[in-house]
Amino acid sequence: MNKWNFYTSKEIKPEGWLRRQLEIQAEGLSGNLHKIWPDIRDSAWIGGNCEGWERVPYWLDGFIPLAYLLENEEMIATVKKYIDAIVSAQEEDGWICPCKKEERATYDTWATQLICKTLKVYYDCSGDEIIPKVIYKVLKNYYELLKSGEISLFKWGKYRWFETFISLNFLYEKYGEEWIKDLARIIKEQGFDYNTAIDFWKKPSHTWRMITHIVNMCMMLKTEAVSHELLGEEYTDNAEKLREILDKYNGTAFEGFTGDEVLSGIDPTRGTELCAIVEQMYSYEEIFARTGDNKWAERLEMLAFNALPATLSEDMWTHQYVQQVNQIACQKTMIMAPFSTNGPYAHTFGLEPNFGCCTANFNQGWPKFALSTFMHKDNTIINAVTVPSVLNYNGITIKLETNYPFDNQMHYYIDTEKDFDFIVRIPSFAKNLKVNGENTVVKDLKFEIKTGKTEIEIEFQTTPFFKERPNNLYALQTGSLLFSVPISYEKEMREYVKKGVERKFPYCDYQFIPKTPWNYGFSDGNFEVKFNGIGDVPFSQDAPPVTVKANMQQINWGLKFPYRSVARKTPKSTKPISEVKKIELCPYGCARLRMTEMPLLNK
């Protein structure tokens, strides 16, 4: 296996549009959640009386790298305040979660698994040497309690057991003690094997089940990659087998899965939970790092450039709980929710439009993606995702200037005190690849970098193509970007208080009401691609960085009965009811209201 190691936030810094995306996140909900949301502000994790389970660890898991990547001193001080409070409350035997000793047997230790993972993130960013000792005590106590039978894995901890391996691997590399391997075996034995659940993924169900819960699905994909070494097992790429089944029966155009909140089939108006998007991204980051298999990095791009920005408001103060690939409105449904087990507000934008897990958990998406740009092993560095970044490590500086994925030109400025090998991962869809102006057919570019200064220019072309989707629908894609018909909308704002939680501008609730037509099909396969430059908001609907003009015609699509703001799964008719129009499509990630999967009218 071609294993890569992550760099830390001390060594990688975002540049260009990626840095701006992180700045917007810090200026929005992520950077202010501890000031406004009781479950973070007054959490039992820091001595308060609000939620003392997953929400603070979830939020810190993204807030920590965000603070350190941006070198934001105020945010770093907040990180330390929370970590200090958590660490200082650790009990003598190692238990760290905020519950009484007599409640441990009924406390779902998914929170234990999650806080250890979060503490490792903090250690990677801060280098605080007390943290490995804290994690050691937590997991040694976990081992003793599980081995003795005083506690066991149940509920979320049972179905997310593999998450523990992020901190277990770290601990074993640092201490190498046999009990860590024994704990790994116990956790796997008590955890759920998703290979036994495959038959439940093949037909949408309105029944809430752990084994079809969309976030569990996206987390579990990395199981074998993160656990096989510590368990002494052979790696078989089991994630690919499971992903193929999930995609066949529940796939989306952006290569995630439907889940609202359980697996929901191949209808493009079904929802995909935001937690699932960031967890699927994290799974792919880990799988790529541990296998070196390029397909995972390419799939990571699809999620990062499409699904993640699409489900966040442009100022990142609000988010959806679930997004729809064909999303013609974000309005409360008046009769019943068009989802499996989510409520009628789940696809509207707000502070907490369904459950609060996504409010806390979406924060990890962009920061961890930024930390996946460069990786290393031995004397080799790879640029795994070619977005604007700077690497400073051990006498080596690599600066990448690029607008990728909005255009396909990369300029590397390298200044090094020693020789090293440098790999640039080129995506499979790249055509007419050039290096320093010369054509090449090699896809994984490898350079022998010598001491001193080096510049490398890389460019390639991408061709728009129709991606076949179920039910005779098609999505337009070029490179890692999907394109959608953007639907203009009015925002209807709602400020209120519910269960003691205030929603007020800018973190209130919004419904998006469509103003322009959406009932289109593709007339032909002729396209005009235009790069417009990246503005202050990289994923802006009104000023998208790149657009594609397509010939389209309106059709009688119709609404899904009995809803007034949800499109049918497929159109009533594909007979054109208008002349051919040139419609300017924008990236899926820019369009908050959109049509993405549409018929091809003149095959």
What is the per-residue pLDDT across 220-237, written as a single tens digit (0 to 9) for each?
A: 999 999 999 999 999 999
Domain of 583 in residue numbering reads as 465-595
Give domain status of residue 560, yes or no.
Answer: yes
What is the per-residue pLDDT across 353-397, written as a single tens digit (0 to 9) for each?
A: 999 999 999 999 999 999 999 999 999 999 999 999 999 999 999
Give domain status of residue 203, yes or no.
Answer: no
pLDDT at residue number 334: 81
What is the per-residue pLDDT across 81-126, written as a single tens digit (0 to 9) for each?
A: 999 999 999 999 999 999 999 999 999 999 999 999 999 999 999 9
Would the pLDDT of 151 be above 90?
A: yes
pLDDT at residue number 196: 98
pLDDT at residue number 390: 98
Tokens of 376: 């290393």
CA distance 415 to 267: 50
Q: pLDDT > 90: what percent of the chain?
A: 97
| 281: confidence class by pLDDT, cuts 50, 70, 90 | very high
Number of domains in the chain: 2
Give the strand pairing for 420-425 and 380-383: parallel
Average pLDDT, the chain: 97
Give domain status of residue 100, yes or no.
Answer: yes
| 463: confidence class by pLDDT, cuts 50, 70, 90 | very high
Rg (CA), the chain: 24
What is the per-residue pLDDT across 517-554, written as a single tens digit (0 to 9) for each?
A: 999 999 999 999 999 999 999 999 999 999 999 999 99
pLDDT at residue number 441: 83
Structural contact between residues 280 and 267, judged by C-beta atoms closer than 8 angstroms: no
Structural contact between residues 543 and 535, judged by C-beta atoms closer than 8 angstroms: yes
DSSP 192-259: --GGG-GGGGSS--SS--GGGBHHHHHHHTTHHHHHHHHHT-----HHHHHHHHHHHHHB-TTS-B-B
Looking at 143, 176, 192, the residue that finishes a domain is: 192
pLDDT at residue number 119: 98
What is the per-residue pLDDT across 492-523, written as a single tens digit (0 to 9) for each?
A: 999 999 989 999 999 999 999 999 999 999 99
The mean pLDDT value for 10-19 works out to 98
CB neighbours of residue 233 within 10 Å? 11
The mean pLDDT value for 11-33 works out to 98
The mean pLDDT value for 141-159 works out to 98
pLDDT at residue number 371: 98
pLDDT at residue number 19: 98
Question: What is the maximal distance between C-alpha atoms in the chain?
Answer: 75
Looking at 147, 168, 192, the residue that finishes a domain is: 192
DSSP 362: G
Give domain status of residue 90, yes or no.
Answer: yes
Tell me phi and psi for residue 205, to 5 degrees.
Answer: -135, 145
Residues 6+ apart with CB under 8 A from 283: 218, 219, 220, 221, 222, 239
pLDDT at residue number 448: 97
CA distance 142 to 109: 9
pLDDT at residue number 39: 97
Give domain status of residue 60, yes or no.
Answer: yes
Would the pLDDT of 560 be above 90?
A: yes
pLDDT at residue number 443: 75
Tell me phi and psi for residue 583, to 5 degrees.
Answer: -110, 135
What 3-state DSSP class applies to 576? Answer: strand
Give domain status of residue 543, yes or no.
Answer: yes
Looking at 172, 192, 212, the residue that finishes a domain is: 192
Report the Cα 515 to chain-centroid distance in Å: 30
Would the pLDDT of 78 be above 90?
A: yes
pLDDT at residue number 30: 98
Question: How far lies 71's CA from each of 63, 123, 557, 582, in Å?
Answer: 12, 15, 49, 45
| 335: confidence class by pLDDT, cuts 50, 70, 90 | confident
The mean pLDDT value for 311-320 works out to 98
Give domain status of residue 167, yes or no.
Answer: yes
What is the per-residue pLDDT across 407-419, written as a single tens digit (0 to 9) for each?
A: 999 999 999 999 9
Give domain status of residue 339, yes or no.
Answer: no
Tell me phi and psi for residue 412, to 5 degrees.
Answer: -100, 130
pLDDT at residue number 278: 98
What is the per-residue pLDDT across 37-68, written as a single tens digit (0 to 9) for each?
A: 999 999 999 999 999 999 999 999 999 999 99
Structural contact between residues 372 and 285, judged by C-beta atoms closer than 8 angstroms: yes
DSSP 440-477: ---SEEEEEEPSEEEEEEEEEE---EEEEETTTEEEEE
What 3-state DSSP class applies to 105? Answer: helix
